[in-house]
Structures are given as C-alpha cells and as structure tokens.
Amino acid sequence: MFKNKGIAFKLVLFFTLSSALIFAAIFSYNYLVSRRMIEKGIEENSANLITTTTSRIEVLLTSTQKVPQNAAYLLENTNYDESELFKVIYAIVEKNPEIYGAAVAFEPYAFDKKKKYFAPYFYKNGGGISFKYLDRFYDYFRWDWYQIPRELEQPQWTEPYFGEGGGILMSSYAVPFFRVVDGTRKLTGVIVVDISLDELRDIVSSIKILKSGYGFLISKNGTFVTHPIKEYIMNETIFSVAEERNDAMLREAGRKMIQRQTGFSAKSVKSAVTGKSCIMTYVPIKSNGWSLGVLFPYDELMSDITNLNHIVIALGIIGLALLALAVVFIARSITKPLTQMANIAGRIGRGDLEVQVPDIRTRDEVGKLASALDYMKTSLKDYIRELTETTASRQRMESELKIARNIQMGILPKTFPPFPERTDFDIHALTLPAREVGGDFYDFFLIDKDHLCFVIGDASGKGIPAALFMAFTKTLIKAKASANLETGALMEQVNDELGKGNDADMFITVFCAILNTVTGELRYTNGGHNPPIVMRSGGDESYLDGPGELVVGIMEGSRYSTRSLVLKPGDGLFLYTDGVTEAMNEADEIFSTDHLLDVLISCRDKTVSDITACVGEAINDFCKDTPQYDDITMMALRYEGRR
Amino acid sequence: MKDHRGKEGSSRGKAAALLPALALLLVALVVATAHGESALKKVSFIPLWSPQAQFAGYYAAQETGIYKKYGLDVTIIQGGPHRPSSELLEKGEADIGSIWLSTALQKRSRGVRLVNIAQIVQRSSLMLIAKKARGIRRPEDLEGKKVGLWGDDFRIQPEAFFKKFKVSVKAVPQSYSVNLFLRDGVDAASGMWYNEYHTILNAGINADEITSFFYSDYGLNFPEDGIYVMEETLKKDPAKACAFVKASIEGWAYAFDHPDKAIDIVLAHMRVANVPANRVHQKWMLERMKDIIMPSGQTGGTPGLLRKEDYERVGKELKAGGLIRDIPAIDTFAFGCEGHVQK
C-alpha cells in the first residue's frame, strides 16, 4: 500500500509510529508504577487514618462496655435488695456522661416470685434523672436488647435505633447476668445501657479524604449508622444500596464488612455524594462487629498523577511532532538531490549529455551518487565521441572498400553475350561476390579472329591487396597474351612479373586457355587452380586432367607446361573457383566437387547462361541463407564450330 | 425507654409515633375540607400495619383520586402494632379495615360481627426462613432446631406445618425484628415473603444461603389481607362499602401498573409516619404483593374474591387448633359486592 509513496512519507510514518509506540510503552509503565505508588501511599495513609479512627471508636465503646460488665459482676457475686439495685443503676446513669439510660431487666419471676416483669430503668431527662419500670405493656422480653443477649448468653450491642423524639441515634449495650441456683448457672436477667451515637458520628464524619472522600459506619446488619447523606442512616443498608445500583461487587464487599474482614473493594465504588469512582477500604470495629468504610475518590487521589500524565502526553505529542518535522527535513535533504539526479539520469537517458550535474559537496551516499552520475556522463560523452570517430573511419574504409569492389567488378567483362556476331562458340560468366572484397576474377577476349583467350583465377587473401593483385594479374595476362605464345610461356612471364617484389608472399591460382575457334583445339595451363569440367556433347562430363601446376606469383622462375585438348562442336567447358565447391551450408557441409558434377549433368543440354544460372541456383538451394565468405565465380563455354 | 426503643428493628415492629399520625390525620382533614364536596361519603380505613407497600393499593387509590371517583372521601388511619385494625373496627373508630382471614374468623367466633367484603391477598406470604449452614434443607431437618415464631395468628400455620412433618422444634418467641436470626440466636425465623425475607437478604445473607418454606406450598395456604366491615356498618350503606372495595382493587391495579409512582406515594406516607423508608425494600414488597394478590397459577382469579376452598381450609385448621368452635357459613361471613356499586 505504500509502494507508491515517497521515501519521505515512509520515513515519517516509520519513525513517528515507532517513536509513538516506544513513548506509549514508557508512558504506560510510568503510569502503572506511579499509580501503584499512589495506591500504596493510600494504603499506608488509610491504614493510619483508619487505625486512628477505629481506636477512637473502640475507646468510646469499650469504656461504655465496662460499666454494665462491672455491674453484671456485682449482681452475680453479691446479694442485693431493690434499693441497692436502684442505687447501682442510678449511679451508672449519673456517673457516666456518655450513658443516656440504664436498666436491669430480670427474667420472669427471677427477682420477685410474684412479678413476671421487673425492670427498673433510670434515664436522663432534661437536667435530671427520671425513673420508670418497664412493664407488661412494653413487654421487654420481646425486644432485641433483651432477647438476643439472653438467647446467645453473651453481651451484645444492639442495632442502632432512634431515641426519644426521633432525633438522637442510639445503641444499647446489654450484658446478661447469671446466678448459681442449686449448683447450675442460670440466666437471671440483662443489664442494659443506652448511649448516644452522636460522638461516634462526630468521629466518623471527621474523616475527610481530599475534597469529597468520606467515611461511614455500618451495623452488623449492614445498616448505615453514619453517612454523609442523612437519608441513608437507618433507612438503607449497604446491601439495599447495592441492590439499587445492581452492584454485586458492592454487595460482596458489604458481606466482607459484616463478616468483620479488613480489605479493599475489588473494584471502584460509586460515591453516594458525588457519584465519582472511589476506592473503598473497610475495617471492623471489634467491640460491636460494626464496620468502618472509607471512600477514597479515585480521580482526586490520582489528580497529581493525572496532571503529570497530561503534561507528559502533551510533551510526548509535541516531541513526536518535532521528530516528524525533523524526519521530513532530513528526508527532504536526501530526496531532493535524489529527485534532481533521477531527472538528470532521465535526461542523460534521452541523450542529453550537456545536462549539468549539481555540485554536491557532501561526502555521503548522495554525494557519491552525484559524482558517479557526473563520471557516468563524462564517460558516456567520451565514449560517444570515440564511437563517432571510429564509426566515421570505418564508414570511410567501408566506402573505400566498396569503391575497390566496384572497380574490381568493373574490370570484369559483363556484357553477355559478349560476341553476339560469333556463332562458333558461346561463353557466359557469373560471379556472386562475397561481403568482403575477394580475389576471384575471370576474363575472356579474342586475341585474333580465330583465337579466344579465357582466364579464371583466385588471388590469395582478401580485401584490397587481393583485389589489386587480381587486377594486376588480369592486366598482365591481357597484355601479354598472343596467338603465338603458348599458355605455359604466358604463365611463366606473368609469374615472373608477379614474383618481382612480392614481399607479401601473395599468390594467385590461374587457369588460362586459348581456344582455336577453327579447329576446336584448346591449349591451356593450370596454375594451381581447380580443374575445370569438360562437358562432351555426347553426354560425358569429367574433370580435366589431374592437379594443376604451382600457383602463380609465389616463386620467380617457375616453369609451366602447356597442355591441349580438342573440343568438338557441342562440347563445353565449365570453369569455377573454390567458392563454388567450398560453399557452405548451415551444417558446415561443403557443396563439393561431386555435387557440382551431378548438377552439371542435370543441366548439360542448356545454354551457357542457363548452366551458370543452374549451378547458381543449386548453390543457393544448398546454402540457403548461410552467408558465404568467398567469392563464387563460374564460367561456362560451349564450342559450336563452324558449320 | 418504651418510646425510643420503639423504633428498633424491622419495619414491621414500630411503635406508632403519635405526632406524625396526628399530622397525617390533620392533612387528611384539610384535604377533605378543601375538596370534600357534600356529595362525597366519608370513610375511614385502618390498614393492618404502619405504612408500607403492603397497602400500596389503598394509598394509590387515595392519592390518585380513585376513591373520589367512586364518591368516597377516604381517610387512611395510620396503623401499627399497637393499633390492631380489628379492634378499631370493633370500637367503631374505623369504618373499614384490613384484617387477616384467620384473625377475622377467630373474632367472629368470639362474637365480633366482622364481614369479609373482599379477599385481597390470595396467597399466604408467611414463611419459615432457615439457615442452610445449620443443616436445614427439608422440613424434617427442623427437628430440635431453635425456631423463631411470632405469636397469635402467626402460629397457626407453623404449628400445623410442624404437625404435618412430625417435627418438634424449640420455639423462641420472635420479636419485631429478625436480628436474633441474623445473629444466629435461632436456626430459623418466621417472616413474610414481602418483608422479612428481603430484610434478611439486605442484611447481607445471600438467597442461596437460606432455605425457604412457604406454608402455601405445603397445603397450608391461608389467604391473608382482606377488607372487612362490621355487619351493622355494611347494612347501613352496602353501596359505600362496595364502592370502597371496587376503588381499592382499581388502586391496586394502578399500583402494579405504575410501581415507581406507587412507591413514591408509599414512601411519602412512611416518612410522615417516621418509619425507616427504603425504596428497594418497598419495590420488592410491591412486586411480591402482586405475586400474592394475583397469583399466576390461580384460575378464575376475580380480584377480591374469597374462594370457598381457601375459606374452608382456614376454617378447618382453626377448628382443629381449637381456635374457633364452628365454621360460619361462607355466605354469612363473606358479602358479595356485585350489584352494590355506584360510581
């Protein structure tokens, strides 16, 4: 997906993303650690706070507990009458400012065998102390303060309740007392003291955590005893609040609280006052099984770390933006010359070598690229200049060669039939020049009316030297040929001429013959040339006698013989150079002398021009498109005689 | 001691505070004089207990003007443990009252001419709540256990139940609260499904930690709250009594259809009466009232109808317990209101 985007884009994306990831990882770790530190701090602080608070509550409760406990001890171990009992109860109310009222309630008929209900009660009333009996209308046996310690045979704090007038929240501490009757310890009654919970409420409501954190107290049943929201007190339990909020976690925390456990809420608890998420810690009040809960508003606790985090995030974002800018800048500094050089390379590609490569002084990869580009341009320029020069010289040479070839071809007779007025013989020659200038030549001319001289040859080597050598040979032969001169002597003279100053050791194969057109006698000398084929009119084709003599021009003073042959009217002669028999096909096979003979047999009855054409076609068929490196030259002669 | 301790414990067990009650009465009087056109017939109604959702239908009928629609000017007297509704009817301090069927039958047996004009609660809500931790899972497990029992009418079903399963329990008189049960002073406690059961749940005991025995599940369905009048009051103006029944049933229908509004009304009355008011508890109570006033399994459920088999079952058990001498004929005990209603 980023294939088409530039390097700058990729760099920015890569660096920004990876830096953001690293930043996020560091940030998260930092956040978690600092949060844990703060939570640990809360734990310690709350432990201190809660310990202080609970110990204040414990002091309040235990000091109250001691009063009825001592009284119970007194009632169990001394004998007393009604007035003494009254004095004790009165003293409890009078001497203990925190105690609102006190009663000693007896089991039915336990104090007085005639009285089912006997429970004297003293209580503070305005400035003084009032008294009454708790009677059958009140039926104290049915009340929790009496029944629960009686059934459990243990001192009990009652659930809180609203006192007289409804305004004061109170709780009672009730202690059962016993008497040993007939050896068994028997429950005799319950001593109860009532205390106001105002002081306890003041202790708990003094808990202030940051701005909105608060403490609350719940009873054994989970009922709110103190709470910043007044309506909660006595009306709601922590479980009814959990039910209303549909908060199972809060219910679970509440159960742990009433089971006298110490701990933290598993998850955040919503503040009843602000609705904010809070961490709730709880600790039991040992004396009465109530539980103190403290709510720590999470966001307020975390406000420092939250502020810090905001700053860190802001710094992080700014840093990332700066980094992105820096990457853009660096990427630009790389890609700008790169783009420039890509353009330059494009222009060089289109042939514009005059383009200026920017001068980049840095020694980095871009600088190297620029100097490489510059070097490439200079080298290309030099190369092209050299190439142009080479091409020009080669073209000149080629045109010179072409001229040479044209000259070479120009000196060969090309008009056919060459002697239209003569019917006593016919001659035709064909040359297929190779790509390079070769050394083949042929010639025929009438020495006089009755003597036709004809020559075919092949100079050694290729190119201009061969062409010149061949032209020189042709000129020599034509100049020296005469009816009185045997071909052997002619060849000796030519050989001597060519041999003079032949430092290059060049030579030429030459077959030279003079036909007496009257008699049909053919006198000939073969200077190292391929033997011609005699085509008898009866239909007998054969190569002319064995291998020839020494090639011409190589050795001065060589001797050449003259041989003769009589042609009958209708007989013919086929002459050729090695370009014919050594023509090659694709499979590197040569045309061969046998094949040549077969071809000539097949076209024996044709005219001389058709014979050369016939052989030319056969060579074409054999070689197809394989280029030939030697000139292919052939000449056909037919003697008709005078009729 | 009596007064301030009277606030202790459950919503069931509150000594009525005199002042708030008078205040409510005063408010009712003011309302009555303000709106009370001469056409409205004055009626006073005494519920079984202090204000709570157990009486949501009556409070709703009063607050939403349903009673007025039926031509009645109703005053709801604040009830409570020290103001038994049957006694108020007997003394003529209230015209109409909400009374348990078993209570009314016993009163009738003692010569108090109470007449049932509607049986509102069809299914008994009285139950026994036991702690699984004490090994109680079946009725038989109650053998030898300490069981908190309320007095009087609340003992009839438990005793028949124990007899049925041949168990003997250690009965502990149950006070106005369930705190003795919560503090493990008893192994099982009596409770009303719509009240103490939920109080126990909201004191931190989970439902799966307790075993519930509904007496109605053990062939002991005693229909509870019914609407009663004295025979002479009924004779004087049957149309008025029947209009009250019709309007009250409509009030119940309204309360079930608009639980939040009904609870608001109930909570307002509770605050006036200065009894602990807890919305989720009242919501639970109203939902359970719907369950017992209109039990889903019951066929041919005309609201307010006292069914003969229910009546005879209660009569039989009371007679067997020696609480009544004879079972009065149902048509002399219950009065059908059909044809006596004028809007």
Residue B265: the pLDDT is 95
- The answer on pLDDT for A545 being more than 80 is no
- Confidence class for position B340, pLDDT limits 50, 70, 90: low
| Subunit contact B186:A151, Cβ cutoff 8 A | yes
Q: Between B259-272 and B18-35, two packed helices, what is the crossing angle to 10 degrees?
A: 120
Nearest to B173 among A142, A194, A234 (CB): A142
Q: Which of B5, B201, B279 sits opposite A143 (nearest CB)?
A: B5
CATH class of the region A18-196: alpha beta
A10-34: average pLDDT: 89
Q: Which of A116-125, A597-606, B12-21, B294-303 has the lowest mean pLDDT?
A: B12-21
Predicted confidence band of residue B13 (pLDDT cuts 50, 70, 90): very low
Please check whether the two domains, A18-196 and A411-639, share a CATH topology: no
- Residue B198 is predicted with a pLDDT of 95
**pLDDT tens figures, B66-92:** 999 999 999 999 988 888 898 999 999
Please tell me the distance from the alpha carbon of residue A475 to that of residue A452, in angstroms, as a whole number.
Answer: 16
**Mean pLDDT for chain A?**
87
**Percent of chain A at pLDDT above 70?**
98
Q: How far apart are CA B54 and CA B285, in angstroms?
A: 7
pLDDT at residue B218, as a whole number: 92
**Would you call A147 and B180 a contact, using CB atoms and an 8 Å cutoff?**
yes
Chain A partners within 8 Å of B180 (Cβ): 144, 147-148, 151
What is the model's pLDDT at position B167? Answer: 94
Question: Token pair of B251, please?
Answer: 């009030």
Pick the residue from chain A with its C-alpha nearest to B270. A235
**pLDDT band with cut points at 50, 70 and 90 for residue B27:** low
Start-to-end CA span in chain B (Å): 49
Count of CB pairs separated by less than 8 Å, A with B: 109
> Would the CB atoms of A147 and B2 count as touching at under 8 Å?
no
Average pLDDT, chain B: 85
pLDDT band at B21 (very low <50, low <70, confident <90, very high): low
pLDDT (mean) for B223-242: 92
User: Domains in chain B, ordered, with CATH?
Assistant: 2-123+223-333 (3.40.190.10), 126-218 (3.40.190.10)
By C-alpha distance, the chain B residue nearest A242 is B202
Which of A215, A279, A208, A289 lies closest to A250, judged by CA? A279
pLDDT over 80 at A405, yes or no: no
Lowest-pLDDT choice from A188-202, A535-549, B108-122: A535-549
The pLDDT confidence band at residue B16, using thresholds 50, 70 and 90, is very low
**Are B9 and A162 within 8 A, CB to CB?**
no
Q: What is the CATH number of domain A411-639?
A: 3.60.40.10
- Identify all chain B residues contacting A103, using CB atoms and an 8 Å cutoff: 1
Residue in chain B closest to A243 (alpha carbons) equals: B280
Torsion angle of C-alpha atoms B276, B279, B285, B291, degrees rounded to 10 = 170
Helix axes A7-77, A303-349, angle to 10 degrees: 170
**Minimal Cβ distance to A144: which of B9, B184, B206:** B9
Architecture of the domain spanning A207-301: 2-Layer Sandwich (3.30)
B196 contacts on A by Cβ (under 8 Å): none
pLDDT at B300 over 70: no
Cβ contact A222–B203 (<8 Å): yes
| The predicted structure's pLDDT at residue B26 | 52
Closest approach of chain A CAs to the CA of B145, in angstroms? Answer: 13
Confidence of residue B297 (pLDDT cuts 50, 70, 90): low
Q: How far is B314 from chain A (nearest CA, A)?
A: 28
Compute the distance between CA of residue A20 and CA of residue A37 in angstroms, rounded to an integer: 25
Partner-chain residue, chosen from A148, A162, A220, that has the shortest CB–CB distance to B180? A148
CA distances from A206 to A52, A201, B244, B264 (A): 11, 8, 53, 33
Contact B203 A237 (CB under 8 A): yes
**Do B184 and A152 make contact, defined as CB atoms within 8 angstroms?**
yes
- Output b/e per residue, B81-92; b: 16+ Cβ within 10 A: eebbbbebbbee
pLDDT bin (cut points 50, 70, 90) of residue A546 is low
Question: Can you tell me which residue has the tokens 């409501």?
Answer: A205
Percent of chain B with pLDDT over 70: 85
In this structure, what token pair is assigned to residue B172? 């502990």
- Taking only the tens place, the pLDDT of each residue in B139-160 is 999 999 999 999 878 888 999 9
Tell me how close the Cα of B233 comes to any Cα of chain A, in angstroms. Answer: 31
Residue with more model confidence, B145 or A162: B145
- A141: which chain B residues are within 8 Å (Cβ-Cβ)? 173
Looking at the partner chain, which of A143, A151, A164 has a beta carbon nearest the beta carbon of B172?
A: A151
Contact B2 A134 (CB under 8 A): yes
Q: With the C-alpha atoms ordered A605, A606, A612, A614, is the resulting torsion angle positive or negative?
A: negative
Contact B274 A166 (CB under 8 A): yes
Chain A residues with CB-CB distance to B9 below 8 A = 144, 159, 161
Distance from CA of B57 to the nearest CA of A (A): 23
What pLDDT digit, counting tens, does each position of A485-536 carry?
888 898 999 998 888 877 778 899 999 999 998 898 999 999 889 899 998 8
pLDDT in tens, A201-216: 899 988 888 888 899 9
Contact A517, A568 (CB under 8 A): no
> Where do the domains of chain A lie?
18-196, 207-301, 411-639
How many percent of chain B have pLDDT more than 90?
A: 63
Closest-approach residue (CA) in chain B for A172: B5
**Residue, of A199 and A437, whose pLDDT is higher:** A199
Nearest CB to B202: which of A101, A144, A243?
Answer: A243
Q: Which residue has the higher pLDDT, B271 or A333?
A: B271
Alpha helices in A263-364 (DSSP H): 298-301, 303-349
- Look at chain A and count its residues: 643
B204 and A162 within 8 Å at the Cβ level: the answer is no
HEC per residue, B22-77: HHHHHHHHHHHHHHCCCCCEEEEEECCCCCCHHHHHHHHHHHCCHHHHCCEEEEEC
CB A635 within 8 A of CB A442: yes
The residues with which B80 forms a beta bridge, in sequence order, are B83
A559-618 residue pLDDT tens: 898 988 898 888 999 999 988 888 888 888 888 888 888 888 888 888 888 999 999 899
| Helix, strand, coil tally for chain A in percent (to 5) | 45, 25, 30
Question: Are A413 and A454 a contacting pair, CB within 8 Å?
Answer: no
pLDDT at B47 (0 to 100) = 95
pLDDT, position B305: 86
Residue B3: pLDDT above 50? Answer: no
For residue B32, is pLDDT > 70?
A: no
Average pLDDT over residues B237-266: 93
**Does the model's ipTM exceed the 0.85 cut?**
no
Angle B226-B227-B228 (CA atoms, 0-180°, nearest 5)?
Answer: 115
| Partner-chain contact B9 A161, CB within 8 Å | yes
Residues of chain A contacting B175 with CB distance shorter than 8 Å: 142-144, 147
Residue of B nearest to A122 (CA): B1
pLDDT at B260 over 90: yes
For the residues of A239-255, what is the DSSP string, one character each? HHHHHHHT-HHHHHHHH
Backbone angles phi, psi at B7, to 5 degrees: -90, -5
Type of residue numbered A93: V
Residue of B nearest to A232 (CA): B278
pLDDT at position B17 over 60? no
Q: Which stretches of chain B sit within 8 Å of chain A by CB? A: 1-5, 7-9, 17, 146, 172-173, 175-177, 179-180, 182-186, 201-204, 206, 274, 276-281
Instruction: Quote the Cα angle for A489-A495-A497, to 5°.
Output: 105
CB pair distance less than 8 Å for A138 and B8:
no
Which band of pLDDT confidence, cut at 50, 70 and 90, is reported for residue B248? very high
pLDDT at B338 over 80: no
Chain A nearest-CA distance from B329, in A, is 37
Q: Which residues of B touch A238 (CB under 8 A)?
A: 204
pLDDT digits (tens, 9 = 90+) for B94-126: 999 999 999 999 999 888 999 999 999 999 999
Gap from B3 CA to chain A (nearest CA, Å): 6
Question: pLDDT digits over A49-81, tens only?
Answer: 888 899 999 998 999 999 999 999 998 888 888
Query: CA A28: distance to chain centroid?
Result: 28
Asked if residue B11 has pLDDT above 50, the reply is no
pLDDT-derived band at B8, boundaries 50, 70, 90:
very low
**Least CA distance to B16: which residue of chain A?**
A166
User: In this complex, do B182 and A164 lie within 8 Å of one another by their Cβ atoms?
Assistant: no
B185 and A147 within 8 Å at the Cβ level: the answer is yes
Q: Which of A151, A166, A258 shows the shortest C-beta gap to B204?
A: A258
CB B172 within 8 A of CB B148: yes
pLDDT for B277 beyond 70? yes
The pLDDT of residue A92 is: 92
pLDDT given at position B5: 36
pLDDT computed for residue A166 by the predictor: 62
Inspect the interface and report whether the beta carbons of B202 and A239 lie closer than 8 Å. Answer: yes
What is the arithmetic mean of pLDDT over A225-248?
92
How much is the average pLDDT of B156-179?
Answer: 91
Contacts of B202 in chain A (CB under 8 A): 222, 237, 239-240, 243
Which residues 6+ apart lie within 8 Å of A30 measured at CB?
A312
- Are the Cβ atoms of B1 and A134 closer than 8 angstroms? yes
User: CB B185 to CB A151 under 8 A?
Assistant: yes
pLDDT of residue B9: 36
* Residue B128 β-bridge partners: B190, B213
pLDDT of A354 above 90? no
Residues of B with Cβ-Cβ distance to A148 under 8 angstroms: 179-180, 183, 185
Name the residue in chain B with its Cα closest to that of A252: B204
B15 has pLDDT over 80 = no
Q: Residues A464-490: pLDDT tens digits?
A: 788 888 888 888 898 888 888 888 898
The minimal CB distance from B179 to the residues A132, A159, A236 is found for A159
